[in-house]
């Protein structure tokens, strides 16, 4: 069986995700909408700001009236949140940051360039050019402008943008629901004693926490023992999810019961990916629900989740740009022997250069905790010190 290229695998996943039905929408308050996906563009309903206003504490003037050394009486004080009178000719108005410009005024001089005289008049140190320190009406947006596009994830900045436009609620996609399954007779949940041959289940925590960061709702299906009947029973209980995500039991081992049930009662595609770590990967369907099966080794689970499952899930969620941010960095190590699989190497960034963590075994999670992200070494490629390679920071992959 030929190895499947990572780009080809991603393309299949993204096509399937795009072809799946859109999630329903709901209206949520801004405080509840963090990390949700905007379902329709948000359009400006009015000019923002709605009126020209001052960007400084100072004096609003008619700029043509102000030469160096000019003295003007103060005809009014304008605080933020208050509506001014038109500016009387031959006067200035005390004004504070964010306060509306009075009609007739076309500039603001900051108070540092002025002097308040004993009689309450103000002397200007220099001439003032028109529009100085004035934030024009509509500087941020004009009515009808698209201020947020559909298909973005709402973070603090986007929600603040919606708030600034007066939106109390936003139309978002409903939460994506994922059932998380850990397979393997050897698995025990933390807190329980370990019998000989057993290990603690770390993929459950890994995948649930990654999914939570994407804003998914989780149905924890716990540990599926390597037993055909128990696997059938457990899967039959499942309903109301958009995706089943399993780890382990997808290689070609004998105890691949999840795969067997999917083959019998649904569909199953088994891929050998040209990816290291993370060669085995399955894509299936059970009672109409898509199933993604990740390999069991902890770092294989991590890498296949981040590189393949994450963009698939974000696309299903309605996100239009599902790939994490990445950039190229110089590497501080050599990989003199080219591999046939694309490798995602655990690296830390030291002064902007990628250093390889010593232990790159797929069964080892500890080196991932010590790294800042994954460095992508393309298949059939070597690298030398100073070469530039693509770096995927965990801070964006886990976001």
Question: Are 390 and 327 contacting, i.e. CB atoms less than 8 angstroms apart?
Answer: yes
Q: What is the DSSP letter of 213?
A: H
Q: Give which of Mg ion, ligand AMP, none residue 187 binds (C-beta under 5 to 8 Å, depending on kind).
A: ligand AMP
Q: Radius of gyration (Cα) for the chain, nearest Å?
A: 30
To Mg ion, the closest distance from the beta carbon of 379 in angstroms equals 27
Helices (H), the chain: 6-19, 156-164, 203-213, 228-236, 257-265, 298-304, 310-316, 366-369, 394-397
| 186 touches ligand AMP by CB under 6 A | yes
Q: Give which of Mg ion, ligand AMP, none residue 199 binds (C-beta under 5 to 8 Å, depending on kind).
A: ligand AMP
Among positions 187, 210, 303, 374, the unique one binding ligand AMP when judged by CB under 6 A: 187
Among positions 184, 290, 318, 322, the unique one binding Mg ion when judged by CB under 5 A: 184
- Taking CB under 6 A as the rule, which mask of x and - marks residues 278-317 in contact with ligand AMP? -----------------xxxx-------------------
To Mg ion, the closest distance from the beta carbon of 255 in angstroms equals 6
For ligand AMP, the binding residues in 60-99 under the rule CB under 6 A are: none
d(CA 194, CA 9): 37
Neighbours of 339 (CB within 10 A): 15
Question: Are 318 and 23 contacting, i.e. CB atoms less than 8 angstroms apart?
Answer: yes
Closest CA to 5 of 223, 214, 273: 273
Residue placing its CB nearer to Mg ion in the complex, 91 or 297: 297
Question: Are 226 and 182 contacting, i.e. CB atoms less than 8 angstroms apart?
Answer: no
Residue nearest to ligand AMP (CB): 296
Q: Give which of ligand AMP, Mg ion, none residue 277 binds (C-beta under 5 to 8 Å, depending on kind).
A: none
Token pair for residue 230?
Answer: 């128990």
Q: How many residues does the chain have?
A: 399
Closest CA to 180 of 227, 232, 230, 234: 234
Among positions 247, 332, 367, 371, the unique one binding ligand AMP when judged by CB under 6 A: 247
Question: Are 204 and 189 contacting, i.e. CB atoms less than 8 angstroms apart?
Answer: yes
To Mg ion, the closest distance from the beta carbon of 253 in angstroms equals 6
d(CA 255, CA 252): 8
Among positions 75, 113, 202, 326, the unique one binding ligand AMP when judged by CB under 6 A: 202
| 381 touches ligand AMP by CB under 6 A | no
Among positions 249, 278, 280, 293, the unique one binding Mg ion when judged by CB under 5 A: 249
To Mg ion, the closest distance from the beta carbon of 197 in angstroms equals 12
Neighbours of 74 (CB within 10 A): 14
Residue placing its CB nearer to ligand AMP in the complex, 207 or 319: 207
Among positions 184, 278, 284, 393, the unique one binding ligand AMP when judged by CB under 6 A: 184
| 280 touches Mg ion by CB under 5 A | no
To ligand AMP, the closest distance from the beta carbon of 21 in angstroms equals 30
Choose one: 84-92, 180-188, 208-216, 391-399; the region binding ligand AMP (CB under 6 A): 180-188
Residue placing its CB nearer to ligand AMP in the complex, 54 or 297: 297
| 251 touches ligand AMP by CB under 6 A | yes
To Mg ion, the closest distance from the beta carbon of 294 in angstroms equals 12
Residue placing its CB nearer to Mg ion in the complex, 84 or 248: 248
DSSP codes, 252-310: S-TT-HHHHHHHHHEEEEEEEBSEES--EEEEEEETTEEEEEE-SSHHHHHHHIIIIIH
d(CA 114, CA 349): 50
| 194 touches ligand AMP by CB under 6 A | no
Peptide linkage before 49 cis (omega within 30 of 0):
yes
Backbone angles phi, psi at 396, to 5 degrees: -100, -35
To ligand AMP, the closest distance from the beta carbon of 179 in angstroms equals 14
Number of residues that bind ligand AMP (CB under 6 A): 20
Choose one: 22-30, 87-95, 130-138, 244-252; the region binding Mg ion (CB under 5 A): 244-252
Task: Note the residues at the interface with ligand AMP (CB under 6 A).
Answer: 182, 184, 186-187, 199, 201-204, 247-251, 253, 295-298, 363
């Amino acid at each position: 069986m030929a190895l499947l290229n990572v780009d080809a695998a991603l393309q299949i996943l993204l096509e399937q995700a795009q072809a799946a039905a859109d999630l329903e929408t709901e209206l949520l308050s801004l405080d509840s909408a963090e990390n949700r996906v905007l379902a329709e563009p948000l359009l400006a309903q009015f000019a923002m700001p709605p009126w020209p206003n001052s960007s400084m504490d100072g004096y609003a003037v008619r700029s043509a009236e102000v030469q160096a050394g000019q003295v003007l009486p103060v005809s009014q004080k304008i605080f933020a949140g208050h509506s001014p009178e038109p500016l009387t000719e031959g006067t200035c108005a005390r004004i504070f940051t964010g306060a509306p410009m009075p009609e007739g005024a076309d500039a603001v001089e900051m108070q540092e360039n002025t002097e308040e005289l004993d009689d309450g008049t103000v002397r200007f140190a220099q001439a003032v050019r028109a529009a100085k320190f004035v934030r024009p009406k509509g500087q941020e947006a004009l009515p009808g402008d698209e201020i947020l596009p559909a298909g973005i994830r709402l973070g603090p900045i986007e929600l603040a943008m919606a708030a600034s436009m007066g939106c109390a609620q936003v139309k978002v996609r409903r939460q994506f629901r994922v059932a998380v399954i850990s397979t393997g007779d050897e698995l025990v949940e933390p807190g329980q004693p370990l019998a000989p041959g057993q290990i603690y289940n770390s993929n459950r925590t890994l995948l649930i926490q990654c999914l939570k960061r994407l804003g998914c709702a989780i149905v924890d299906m716990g540990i599926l023992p390597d037993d055909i009947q128990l696997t059938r029973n457990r899967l039959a209980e499942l309903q109301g999810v958009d995706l089943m995500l399993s780890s382990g039991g997808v290689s070609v081992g004998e105890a691949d019961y999840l795969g067997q049930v999917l083959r019998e009662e649904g569909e199953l595609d088994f891929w050998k990916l040209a990816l290291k770590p993370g060669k085995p990967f399955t894509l299936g369907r059970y009672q109409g629900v898509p199933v993604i099966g990740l390999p069991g080794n902890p770092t294989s689970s991590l890498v296949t989740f981040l590189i393949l499952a994450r963009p698939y899930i974000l696309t299903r969620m309605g996100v239009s740009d599902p790939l994490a941010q990445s950039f190229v960095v110089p590497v501080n190590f050599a990989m003199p022997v080219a591999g046939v699989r694309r490798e995602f190497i655990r690296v830390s960034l030291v002064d902007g250069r990628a250093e390889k963590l010593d232990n790159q075994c797929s069964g080892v999670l500890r080196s991932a905790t010590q790294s800042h992200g994954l460095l992508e070494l393309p298949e059939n490629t070597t690298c030398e010190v100073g070469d530039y390679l693509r770096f995927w920071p965990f801070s964006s992959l886990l976001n």
